[in-house]
């Protein structure tokens, strides 16, 4: 609650100090906004391909079933911290004996996406390193950079050496049943894991492109490299901040203002862009997932069709 209050309070402060009027908002380029909307199904189609691939050795997963399950997962994640409910919404369609493996596979897919966000966020930080003015003491910046780099390296090593997790679980005397389930993840070859990373990177490119298109559609023109790096840093910081999906729009908006204020004075439009991309990539798929739930598409009989 405190984080939400701070996020929205910061946005309100920026709106007031810049004497913002809603009449100032206009779509400078509707075509760019339309393209950003069209990229939404591309975004979630890639996620469906990724999830389907991860489950390939558990159950046969038709693409249509994967799309419905992913949409339902988005709906399930709305009211849970950092979208944890997404996992449960997806794996509920699997056979009972496959759900633990399915949850682990889903977590592996999320791990790949987090890893890409970390790596690209690190690159972004290096690119705009000297433009970041929100740290009072400059020598703190390299500490954060080194910390993120070490975390990314560790996660990358662990990603390609998943058996270490199984060994750690045995060392900590985790229930043998769950240790046995972890063995499923060790069956993924490096080539398969690299394919999942590639899909995750492609998704990252898609939603960064959406963000840039929406900013341009609203008339916010930031130099392209600074724009890409700034958005990458926004996603990196959002990743580290605990939040509920319903409050994410405020968190994203406040962080986007904090980062991009070095490049534009149209900070209100930056916050509005964050709200639009949240609506496109989260709310619209959640509405679709709600339709599948209400229409009975979630039943095992229908979703298996």
- pLDDT tens column, 226-248: 999 999 999 998 887 766 655 56
DSSP 247-302: GHHHHHHHHHHHHHTTT-S-HHHHHHHHHHHHIIIIIHHHHHHHHHHHTTTTSHHH
Q: Cα separation of 181 and 99, whole Å?
A: 10
Burial grade of 194 (CB within 10 A; 0-12, 13-18, 19 or more): middle
Contact 110, 155 (CB under 8 A): no
Asked if the model's pLDDT at residue 17 lies above 60, the reply is no
- The alpha carbons of the chain give a radius of gyration, in whole angstroms, of 20
Q: 26 or 217, which is more confident?
A: 217
- pLDDT tens column, 52-61: 998 887 878 8
**Domain extent for 57:** 27-303
Contact 27, 218 (CB under 8 A): yes
pTM of the entire predicted model: 0.83
- pLDDT tens column, 115-163: 999 999 999 988 887 777 655 555 667 777 888 899 999 989 888 887 7
> In 3D, which of 8, 83, 51 has the Cα closest to residue 283?
83
Percent of the chain with pLDDT strictly greater than 70 = 77
Q: 9 or 202, which is more confident?
A: 202
Domain count, the chain: 1
Q: Specify if 146 maps to a domain.
A: yes
Q: How many helices (H) and strands (E) does the chain have?
A: 14, 0
Mean predicted lDDT score pLDDT of the chain: 79
Q: Specify if 5 maps to a domain.
A: no
For the chain, what is the largest distance between any 2 Cα atoms, rounded to a whole number of angstroms?
62
Cβ count near 303 (within 10 Å): 18
- pLDDT tens column, 258-275: 888 888 888 888 888 988
Q: Specify if 87 maps to a domain.
A: yes
DSSP 46-81: HHHHHHHHHTTTTS---HHHHHHHHHHHHHHHTTSB
Q: Phi, psi (5° rounding) for residue 81?
A: -60, 130
Q: Which two tokens stand for residue 151?
A: 């975390």
Q: Specify if 11 maps to a domain.
A: no
∠ CA 201-207-216, nearest 5°, is 135
Using left for φ > 0, alpha for ψ between -120 and 50, and beta otherwise, residue 275 falls in alpha
Q: Which two tokens stand for residue 158?
A: 């662990």
Q: Specify if 212 maps to a domain.
A: yes
Contact 68, 297 (CB under 8 A): yes
Residue with tokens 């390609």: 160
């Amino acid at each position: 609650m405190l984080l939400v209050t701070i996020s929205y309070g910061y946005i309100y402060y920026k709106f007031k100090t810049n004497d913002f009027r809603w009449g100032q908002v206009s779509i400078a380029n509707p075509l760019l906004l339309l393209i950003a909307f069209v990229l939404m199904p591309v975004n979630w189609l890639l996620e469906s391909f990724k999830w389907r691939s991860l489950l390939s050795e558990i159950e046969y997963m038709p693409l249509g079933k994967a799309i419905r399950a992913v949409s339902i997962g988005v709906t399930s994640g709305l009211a849970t911290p950092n979208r944890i409910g997404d996992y449960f919404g997806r794996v509920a369609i699997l056979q009972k004996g496959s759900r633990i493996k399915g949850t682990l596979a889903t977590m592996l897919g999320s791990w790949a996406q987090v890893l890409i966000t970390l790596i690209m966020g690190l690159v972004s930080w290096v690119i705009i390193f000297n433009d970041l003015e929100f740290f009072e003491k400059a020598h703190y910046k390299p500490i954060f950079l080194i910390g993120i780099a070490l975390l990314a390296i560790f996660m990358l090593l662990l990603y390609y050496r998943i058996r270490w997790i199984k060994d750690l679980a045995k060392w900590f005397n985790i229930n043998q049943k769950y240790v046995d389930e972890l063995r499923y993840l060790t069956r993924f070859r490096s080539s398969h894991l690299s394919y999942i990373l590639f899909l995750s990177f492609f998704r990252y490119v898609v939603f960064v492109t959406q963000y840039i298109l929406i900013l341009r559609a609203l008339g916010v023109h930031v130099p392209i490299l600074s724009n890409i790096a700034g958005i990458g840093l926004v996603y990196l910081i959002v990743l580290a901040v605990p939040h509920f999906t319903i409050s994410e729009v405020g968190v994203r908006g406040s962080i986007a203002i904090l980062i991009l204020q070095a490049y534009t004075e149209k900070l209100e439009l930056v916050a509005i862009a964050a709200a639009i991309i949240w609506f496109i990539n989260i709310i619209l798929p959640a509405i679709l997932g709600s339709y599948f739930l209400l229409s009975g598409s979630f039943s095992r009989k229908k979703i298996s069709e």
